[in-house]
Amino acid sequence: MSNAAVSATETREISNEKIFDAPRELVWNAWTDPEHIKQWWGPIGFTTTTKHFDFQPGGQWLHTMHGPDGTDYPNEITYRLIEKPSRIEYEHGDCPLFYTTVIFEDLGGRTKLSMTMLFNSTEDRDETAKRYGAIEGLEQTLGRLTEYLAIQGK
Protein backbone atom coordinates (compact mmCIF):
# COMPACT_ATOMS: atom_id res chain seq x y z
CA MET A 1 0.00 0.00 0.00
CA SER A 2 3.02 2.24 0.22
CA ASN A 3 2.71 3.29 -3.42
CA ALA A 4 -0.73 4.69 -2.68
CA ALA A 5 0.38 6.66 0.33
CA VAL A 6 -0.82 10.23 0.38
CA SER A 7 1.95 12.70 0.92
CA ALA A 8 2.49 16.41 0.83
CA THR A 9 5.37 16.89 -1.57
CA GLU A 10 7.65 19.85 -1.94
CA THR A 11 5.74 20.73 -5.07
CA ARG A 12 3.01 21.96 -2.75
CA GLU A 13 0.28 19.47 -3.32
CA ILE A 14 -1.27 16.44 -1.74
CA SER A 15 -0.72 13.54 -4.07
CA ASN A 16 -1.52 9.90 -4.29
CA GLU A 17 -0.37 7.29 -6.81
CA LYS A 18 -0.72 3.62 -7.55
CA ILE A 19 0.30 1.23 -10.32
CA PHE A 20 -2.46 -0.97 -11.72
CA ASP A 21 -1.79 -4.23 -13.50
CA ALA A 22 -4.09 -3.31 -16.40
CA PRO A 23 -3.69 -1.51 -19.73
CA ARG A 24 -4.27 2.24 -19.74
CA GLU A 25 -7.34 2.07 -21.97
CA LEU A 26 -9.10 -0.16 -19.46
CA VAL A 27 -8.19 2.06 -16.51
CA TRP A 28 -9.41 5.08 -18.47
CA ASN A 29 -12.71 3.33 -19.20
CA ALA A 30 -13.10 2.50 -15.52
CA TRP A 31 -12.93 6.24 -14.76
CA THR A 32 -15.11 7.52 -17.56
CA ASP A 33 -18.12 5.21 -17.68
CA PRO A 34 -20.62 5.48 -14.79
CA GLU A 35 -21.37 1.75 -15.06
CA HIS A 36 -17.71 1.08 -14.32
CA ILE A 37 -17.28 3.89 -11.78
CA LYS A 38 -20.02 2.63 -9.49
CA GLN A 39 -18.12 -0.65 -9.11
CA TRP A 40 -15.21 0.92 -7.28
CA TRP A 41 -15.78 4.58 -6.35
CA GLY A 42 -15.64 5.45 -2.67
CA PRO A 43 -14.58 3.91 0.62
CA ILE A 44 -15.35 0.27 1.46
CA GLY A 45 -19.02 -0.18 2.23
CA PHE A 46 -20.18 2.77 0.13
CA THR A 47 -22.30 2.54 -3.01
CA THR A 48 -22.76 5.23 -5.65
CA THR A 49 -25.84 6.21 -7.67
CA THR A 50 -25.33 8.42 -10.71
CA LYS A 51 -28.06 10.93 -11.53
CA HIS A 52 -26.36 12.70 -14.39
CA PHE A 53 -23.12 12.05 -16.22
CA ASP A 54 -21.78 14.41 -18.84
CA PHE A 55 -18.14 13.62 -19.48
CA GLN A 56 -16.81 16.71 -21.22
CA PRO A 57 -15.08 19.91 -20.10
CA GLY A 58 -17.68 21.91 -18.15
CA GLY A 59 -19.92 18.83 -17.93
CA GLN A 60 -21.02 17.45 -14.60
CA TRP A 61 -21.21 14.16 -12.83
CA LEU A 62 -23.99 14.33 -10.25
CA HIS A 63 -24.00 11.38 -7.94
CA THR A 64 -25.01 10.33 -4.46
CA MET A 65 -22.80 8.22 -2.27
CA HIS A 66 -24.61 5.97 0.15
CA GLY A 67 -22.73 5.28 3.36
CA PRO A 68 -22.83 1.93 5.15
CA ASP A 69 -24.96 3.54 7.91
CA GLY A 70 -27.56 4.72 5.38
CA THR A 71 -26.38 8.32 5.19
CA ASP A 72 -26.54 9.85 1.70
CA TYR A 73 -23.83 12.20 0.48
CA PRO A 74 -24.83 14.11 -2.67
CA ASN A 75 -21.83 15.11 -4.77
CA GLU A 76 -21.30 17.35 -7.73
CA ILE A 77 -18.19 17.01 -9.83
CA THR A 78 -17.44 19.37 -12.71
CA TYR A 79 -14.93 18.21 -15.28
CA ARG A 80 -12.54 20.97 -16.25
CA LEU A 81 -10.14 19.27 -18.63
CA ILE A 82 -10.18 15.94 -20.44
CA GLU A 83 -7.26 14.65 -22.50
CA LYS A 84 -8.01 11.10 -23.52
CA PRO A 85 -6.38 8.75 -22.51
CA SER A 86 -3.97 10.50 -20.17
CA ARG A 87 -5.50 13.28 -18.10
CA ILE A 88 -8.67 14.35 -16.29
CA GLU A 89 -9.08 17.48 -14.18
CA TYR A 90 -12.14 18.16 -12.08
CA GLU A 91 -13.47 20.02 -9.09
CA HIS A 92 -16.20 19.49 -6.57
CA GLY A 93 -18.90 22.06 -7.37
CA ASP A 94 -20.32 22.12 -3.88
CA CYS A 95 -16.94 21.80 -2.23
CA PRO A 96 -14.53 24.06 -4.09
CA LEU A 97 -11.70 23.38 -1.71
CA PHE A 98 -9.63 21.22 -3.96
CA TYR A 99 -8.95 20.88 -7.64
CA THR A 100 -8.11 17.33 -8.62
CA THR A 101 -5.89 16.19 -11.48
CA VAL A 102 -5.74 12.51 -12.47
CA ILE A 103 -2.93 11.34 -14.76
CA PHE A 104 -2.93 7.96 -16.50
CA GLU A 105 0.56 6.85 -17.49
CA ASP A 106 1.09 3.91 -19.85
CA LEU A 107 3.73 1.52 -18.50
CA GLY A 108 3.30 -1.05 -21.27
CA GLY A 109 0.41 -3.18 -20.12
CA ARG A 110 0.37 -1.61 -16.70
CA THR A 111 -0.87 1.84 -15.74
CA LYS A 112 0.38 4.36 -13.25
CA LEU A 113 -2.37 6.51 -11.84
CA SER A 114 -1.33 9.77 -10.18
CA MET A 115 -3.76 12.03 -8.38
CA THR A 116 -3.01 15.52 -7.25
CA MET A 117 -5.21 17.61 -5.06
CA LEU A 118 -4.56 21.31 -5.04
CA PHE A 119 -6.02 23.80 -2.67
CA ASN A 120 -8.65 25.84 -4.44
CA SER A 121 -10.68 28.06 -2.16
CA THR A 122 -13.67 29.99 -3.44
CA GLU A 123 -11.81 33.28 -3.47
CA ASP A 124 -8.79 32.12 -5.41
CA ARG A 125 -10.19 29.30 -7.52
CA ASP A 126 -9.40 31.18 -10.73
CA GLU A 127 -5.91 32.18 -9.78
CA THR A 128 -3.66 29.33 -10.77
CA ALA A 129 -0.64 30.72 -9.01
CA LYS A 130 -2.38 30.80 -5.66
CA ARG A 131 -3.84 27.40 -6.27
CA TYR A 132 -0.37 25.96 -6.59
CA GLY A 133 1.03 27.74 -3.58
CA ALA A 134 -1.44 26.81 -0.96
CA ILE A 135 -0.87 23.40 0.51
CA GLU A 136 2.80 23.71 1.20
CA GLY A 137 3.53 22.31 4.58
CA LEU A 138 -0.05 21.41 5.37
CA GLU A 139 0.85 17.93 6.45
CA GLN A 140 3.71 19.15 8.62
CA THR A 141 1.29 21.47 10.36
CA LEU A 142 -1.17 18.66 10.83
CA GLY A 143 1.60 16.37 12.02
CA ARG A 144 2.59 18.91 14.64
CA LEU A 145 -1.02 19.28 15.57
CA THR A 146 -1.37 15.57 16.18
CA GLU A 147 1.55 15.75 18.58
CA TYR A 148 0.00 18.78 20.20
CA LEU A 149 -3.34 17.04 20.63
CA ALA A 150 -1.62 14.04 22.15
CA ILE A 151 0.00 16.31 24.74
CA GLN A 152 -3.26 18.17 25.41
CA GLY A 153 -5.09 14.91 25.94
CA LYS A 154 -2.89 14.02 28.89
* Residues engaged in binding other proteins (CB under 8 A): 1, 4, 6, 14, 16, 18, 20-22, 26-27, 30, 36, 39-44, 65, 73, 75, 92, 94-95, 97, 113, 115, 117, 119, 121-123, 133-142, 144-149, 152
Residue 44: how many CA atoms within 13 Å on its side-chain side?
0
- Short-list 23, 83, 93, CA closest to 63: 93
> Is the CB of 57 or the CB of 140 nearer to other proteins?
140
> Is the CB of 51 or the CB of 144 nearer to other proteins?
144
Query: Cβ of residue 58: shortest distance to other proteins, in angstroms?
Result: 21
> Is the CB of 49 or the CB of 57 nearer to other proteins?
49
Query: Cβ of residue 56: shortest distance to other proteins, in angstroms?
Result: 22
> Is the CB of 61 or the CB of 119 nearer to other proteins?
119
DSSP classification of residue 4: G
**Partners of 50 in the β-ladder:** 63
Query: Cβ of residue 122: shortest distance to other proteins, in angstroms?
Result: 7
Q: Helical H runs in the chain?
A: 24-32, 34-37, 128-133, 138-152
Contact call for residues 64 and 73 (beta carbons, < 8 A):
yes
How far is the C-alpha of 13 from the C-alpha of 17, rounded, in Å?
13
> Is the CB of 56 or the CB of 152 nearer to other proteins?
152
**Maximum separation of any 2 CA atoms in the chain, in Å:** 53
Query: Cβ of residue 125: shortest distance to other proteins, in angstroms?
Result: 11
